Structure formats: structure tokens, C-alpha cells
Amino acid sequence: MDAGLNRRLRAAVIITAAIAVADVIPAPLPAAAFQRQPEVVPLTPRPEADNAVFKGCFITDKNGRKWPCSRVNNPAANLTMFDCNIENRMGTEMYLDCDDGDQRAYYYSPGAMRYERYASVFDPAPRPRYLSRRRTSPTVACEWGCAGNVMTGVVVWDEQWPEAWSCREVGGDGRCRIVFENNKEVVLVTRAGRRVLGDLPIKECSKNWWGYGGWLPFGLGCTYPKHDQNYYGTVKS
């Protein structure tokens, strides 16, 4: 009887020891755990030590403005942006179809305004990913139309305007305004004042041509009124 009891005690001890060992040995890891995970490296500003090689180095744009070479491909450098409102202060609807990469024309009802944001083409800082449309020209030119009058080459933004630097989002004096006003002229308005860019070719037409009544089609007997400045673009129709 004592021998059988001893055998049962020895078996119990062996089982207890096996359970303890099993708790210590870790379970096998899944195969995915052995795969190398890609390292995520956040964008960081270029170290000041690296900028030392650009000391005294500048890129001069067409305005004679100097940009530090250290801004090239530097994630810490924010690209210079400009703000400009385009406003229709005429008595009728007009449209603009511009060469800024947007494939559609925009229509402005009387009194309407559209906010535009332009990136500097001279600033060597990297462009944010959200700026999908890349301009290479400092100007944005459009086809303009109003009441059957059409003109091409109407510039609504030019980074080389003397007033442009004051229209910066950061450090500027305020948003610029391009105003089509009084069926007569295009005006650039900034905190520095107003500057007339040119006149608008709005034809004056009469159906009662030479006293023959209203049977003649619209467009006959149309003339351009006298104007003081050159037309702001090339008259198309």
C-alpha cells in the first residue's frame, strides 16, 4: 500500500513540475511577427549644420528678390502663398476661363466674388502635396466674357506686379482684389491704393439702326465707346 502511495505522489510531483515549465516557455509567435516592419521616418527640418553650406547663397528671381538657397527642398520652409479676390462689380454676369490648370470656366453673377490662392513660382521651398496644379509662369491669364463681349489675355494674377508682395498670406498687408467694375475697367486694389489695369470692351448696340425700326438683328450698329486706357487684353469678339 505504501509503495502505491509513493508512486501516486511521484506522479503528482512530475505533473505539477511539467505545468510549471509550460507556463515559463512562451507560446510560438505567428509568422507575421518575424516580418520586418517598415520604418516610418517623419519629415524633419534640415539641421542647422547642413544650412551652413548655404550661407551667403541666394537665388535671385525676375523681380530681383533674393531667396535663401537653404529653402531648397527644406521641409521646414513654407512655400510663399498669395491671396486674391476676383470680383464682378458690373451690372451683368461675366465669366473667366483661366490657364491655371483648372479645366472649367467660372461664372460670376453681378456682385459675386471668388477667392483665389496662388503659390509663388519663384520660391525654392518644396510644394505641398495638395498643390496638384503646378504653374511655371508667374502670371495667370484668362479668357473673359460678358454680354457677348469676349477678350483673351486678361491677367488676374502676376507675381511680378509691384503690389504682389503685399498680398502674401503670411507677412502681407492683406488680400488683393481684382475688380471688374462699372462695365468699364479692371482695377487692382490693395492697401496701397487702386491701380487701373485696363479698360473693358463693352459694345454699345442699338436695334433702331438708321431709323429702320427694331427689325435688324442684335449686333448690327454696335460700337465701342471712347475709353481712356488700353483694353486689358485682346478683343476676340
The pLDDT tens digits for 73-116 are 888 899 999 999 999 999 999 999 999 877 789 999 999 999 99
Q: Which residues contact 111 (CB under 8 A, 6 or more apart)?
A: 88, 89
Return the H-helix or E-strand segment holding 23: helix 2-24
Parallel, antiparallel or unpaired: strands 176-181 and 58-60: unpaired
Please report, for residues 4, 58, 80, 92, 122, the alpha-carbon distance to residue 68 in angstroms, rounded to integers and kept in the order given.
Answer: 93, 5, 13, 46, 11
Residues 90 and 30 both lie in one domain: no
Residue 11: inside a domain, yes or no?
yes
Residue 121: inside a domain, yes or no?
yes
Residue 94: inside a domain, yes or no?
yes
Domain that holds residue 21: 2-34
Cell of 111: 456682385
Contact 142, 124 (CB under 8 A): no
Largest CA distance in the chain: 141
Residue 14: inside a domain, yes or no?
yes
Distance CA 210, CA 94 (A): 30
Residue 42: inside a domain, yes or no?
no
Predicted local distance difference test score (pLDDT) of residue 15: 54
220 phi and psi angles, rounded to 5 deg? -75, 140
Residues 6 and 81 both lie in one domain: no
Residues 98 and 215 both lie in one domain: yes
Predicted local distance difference test score (pLDDT) of residue 219: 47
Residue 23: inside a domain, yes or no?
yes
Distance CA 136, CA 133 (A): 10
Contact 66, 58 (CB under 8 A): yes
Residues 107 and 12 both lie in one domain: no
Residue 20: inside a domain, yes or no?
yes
Residues 191 and 81 both lie in one domain: yes
The domain tally of the chain equals: 2
Residues 182 and 101 both lie in one domain: yes
Predicted local distance difference test score (pLDDT) of residue 33: 44
Residue 221: inside a domain, yes or no?
yes
Residues 25 and 132 both lie in one domain: no
Residue ranges of the chain with per-residue pLDDT less than 70: 1-53, 132-133, 207-221
Residues 24 and 67 both lie in one domain: no
